Amino acid sequence: MWYTCSMIVLRGYKTELDLNNAQKTACAKHAGAARYTFNWGLSRKIAAYQAGEKTPTAIDLHRALNALKKTEFAWMYAVSKCAPQEALRNLDQAFWHFFRRVKEKQAGKQVKAGFPQYKSKKDGLGSFRLTGAIHGYENAIQLPRLGRLRLKERGYLPVSGVHLLSATVSARGRRWFVSVPAEVEIPDPQEVGKPVVGLDLGITRLATLSDGSSIENPQVLKHALRKIKRLQRSVSRRQQGSANRRKAVDRLARTHLRVTNLRTDTLHQATSLLAKTKSAVVLEDLNVSGMLKNHHLAQAIADVGLYEFRRQLTYKAKWYGCQVWLAERAYPSTKRCSRCGQVKADMDLGQRRYVCDACGMLMDRDLNAAINLEQCWLRLELPRVPREVTPVERV
């Protein structure tokens, strides 16, 4: 199946804000208003359900909130009306996903219902979303009620000829970020001669390609785990509610944020390189959720980001004219000999070398699997392709 990108796609841009103290206070007020409104709306919905009444929608709750602003919620006049309004819309979405998962669970799927939970200050400053007149500049962004906020990264946000739909401001580790979805125009990919590769994802190496090259896995969580444990002990030893505990929590959050950023950067660079330089990439349809149930390897598997790798490669392939195919989970890419086709009955995870009992071939386990995936493409033995992806993909 050939993936083609649309001329207009919805793409997300996220970058860090460079705020002064007054702007940080204003953002914290907006985030607090959004959190309070979410919890208030959740209480109203639960109370209506317990009383046997019709559950109020986001529109109903917003009207009730506006009626109470002059008396009980006068402090909300200090923030934009969009922050509580969008929080109530998020609450409606949370309930919609809850009922969807309930139906899936009744149908036999192994999912958790996930009833919407109250938001707490202990989880961080939180986030809020704004709509309306939003304008991007080379080194700043203009937001309703907050004014022009400086960016730490210059020239990242789209400026000319782009309509910014909304802006979500979030905090993590005492650092503020803004995320904006924008409709951008992407030219049709040019059909040029590019090689086809099979790709085997792993833990020691992020990806092994059938041409012999590989992409290393930085294993950022493994290298930072000792520091994270030390910082976590520091948090647990501080008195709850004290300033020193808040400082320790911030140090721990910054470390987790660095781990996340390093992992995300590695995945983006790897998937962009593959989408730009290959005409087709063949992957295994891995059961990542099932693999995470192995408690001996769950932490290492989660540190790789296998599903995120596939998600990014799928939407980037449409942009650069690459095809992404999935081999069936039952396809024996690891047990099959790439030279003679002999399939082994079993192969332990500890066997890092593939030794064929029929022809005597000796090869790296991951490279042999990647070559089998490429041969699967060349023989057109792929039983199915990945699902259709909507034209709207978020980076």
Tell me: the pLDDT tens digits for 136-153? 888 999 999 999 999 999
> Is 209 in a helix, a strand, or coil?
strand
| Catalytic residue (one of 92, 366, 374, 393) | 366
346 is catalytic: no
State residue 36's pLDDT score. 96
Does position 275 have pLDDT exceeding 50, yes or no? Answer: yes
| Catalytic residue (one of 92, 284, 303, 393) | 284
Q: Using the Cα atoms of residue 280, residue 281, residue 284 and residue 287 in order, give the sign of their dihedral.
A: negative
Q: For the whole model, what pTM was predicted?
A: 0.82
State residue 81's pLDDT score. 92
Mean pLDDT of 191-212: 85
Does position 281 have pLDDT exceeding 80, yes or no? Answer: yes
| Catalytic residue (one of 86, 92, 200, 393) | 200
Does position 84 have pLDDT exceeding 90, yes or no? Answer: yes
200 is catalytic: yes
pLDDT averaged over every residue in the chain: 86
| 55, 49 contact by CB (below 8 A) | yes
State residue 57's pLDDT score. 94
Give residue-wise pLDDT tens across range 102-124: 998 888 887 888 899 999 987 77
CA distance 273 to 264: 14
Does position 391 have pLDDT exceeding 70, yes or no? Answer: no
CA distance 80 to 334: 56
284 is catalytic: yes
Does position 344 have pLDDT exceeding 50, yes or no? Answer: yes
Q: How many CA atoms are closer than 13 Å to the CA of 391, on its beta-carbon side?
A: 11
Does position 170 have pLDDT exceeding 90, yes or no? Answer: yes
| 113, 98 contact by CB (below 8 A) | yes
State residue 383's pLDDT score. 44
Residue with more model confidence, 97 or 392: 97
Provide the percentage of residues in the chain whose pLDDT is more than 90. 46
Does position 346 have pLDDT exceeding 60, yes or no? Answer: yes
